[in-house]
Amino acid sequence: MTSSPNSLSSRPDSWRGSGDAADVLAAVMDAVRLRSGVFCRSELKAPWGLSLRASPFAHFHVIERGGCWLRLRGLEPVALAGGDLVVVPHGSGHTLSDSPKTKPRPLADMPGRRSGERGCLVMRGGGDGPETQLVCGSFRFDRPDAHPLVALLPPLLHIRPDGGEATEWLQATLRFLARETREPRPGSETIVSRLTDVIFVQALRAWLETAPVGQGGWLGALRDAQVASALVAIHRMPERDWTTASLAAVAGMSRSRFAARFTALVGEPPLAYLTGWRLQSAAGLLRDRQTGLAEVAARVGYESEAAFSKAFRRRFGLPPGAYRRRAA
């Protein structure tokens, strides 16, 4: 069996995220407003093949039993086995099949029935060969402009059950999800929705714990204790009059050394990242609350409404008031 070049479990490095670093990830997850769910459960006997069209959503697939192959443009076919989780973060079109040679059919054309009045679709089909059981779902974000989270991820995340301690909790969640879709009971719909949210965060954790140093932008930078301390400060107190020197002091580094390391790991200089997070935070305030523009500006670190409006327009292409009206 071949493996994806982006397979997470094959990377030897391990990282223990601090509680403060976890706060940064939590803040970003709050900003993007994750929405997720299961759209089908498949029980398919070889030969079988499914194709999923490109969409604005990230897709995920849990291989409960059996095995299959995933094909994604630009990558070699990836062999999947029971217990594997794969995430296609950018919504790229892809196929799943019992063999790379099996011709897939559109997912929408597969016969199925709904488990309960509002449960997920259960699909059965294929031939008379070995059976594979899959749980398929999607992740989407209510605020795709809130933070470039998904852009940091590779085309495919492939997490195997033998990834060690980094994936133990994820595997327990996947087993729980599979059971709730296989044997729906009162409350299963709510449980499945919550579990899929947890799966996304746990997949990010697995990626954080195993991605090589220097990959993943601000997410990967959370592995560096000194740079992470500056990221925590930015996220907790964006309104402060931060300078590169004051952030370097938080990190316990010289100004020049801090600026170089931050830029190398995060992908942009400290003050550029600060500006981006301030404006992303402002976008959330504008969408959620009836807060005056002057107060929004002050809460994200701008001394005047005019300066805030100019920066916001440069970032989002329209002034704050128009952004609020469009988001209403």
Same domain, 208 and 254: no
Q: How far apart are CA 249 and CA 112, in angstroms?
A: 59
178 Cα distance to chain centroid: 20
Same domain, 146 and 244: no
The DSSP symbol for 183 reads S
Of 62, 82, 71, 67, residue with least CA distance to 137: 62
Same domain, 207 and 231: no
Q: How far apart are CA 145 and CA 143, in angstroms?
A: 5
CB 111 within 8 A of CB 15: no
Same domain, 123 and 46: yes
CB 98 within 8 A of CB 49: yes
Number of domains present in the structure of the chain = 2
CB 31 within 8 A of CB 147: yes
What is the predicted pLDDT for the residue at 148? 65
Residue 7, in any domain of the structure: no
Same domain, 208 and 229: no
pTM value surpassing 0.85: no
Same domain, 186 and 263: no
What is the predicted pLDDT for the residue at 72? 96
Query: Read out DSSP for 209-257?
Result: HHSPTT-SHHHHHTTSHHHHHHHHHHHH-TTS---HHHHHHHHTS-HHH
What is the predicted pLDDT for the residue at 116? 54
Last residue of a domain, one of 183, 212, 241: 212
What is the predicted pLDDT for the residue at 9? 32
CB 62 within 8 A of CB 87: no
CB 8 within 8 A of CB 210: yes
Last residue of a domain, one of 212, 236, 253: 212
Same domain, 200 and 246: no
Find the domain containing 320 and state its range.
224-327
pLDDT means per 10 residues, the chain with 328 residues, are: 35 41 70 80 94 91 96 95 93 95 88 60 90 92 64 87 71 87 83 87 78 71 88 92 97 97 93 94 83 93 95 94 86
The enclosing domain of 154 has a CATH number of 2.60.120.280
Same domain, 94 and 41: yes
Give the CA dihedral 225, 231, 235, 237, nearest 10 degrees.
90
Last residue of a domain, one of 148, 179, 212: 212
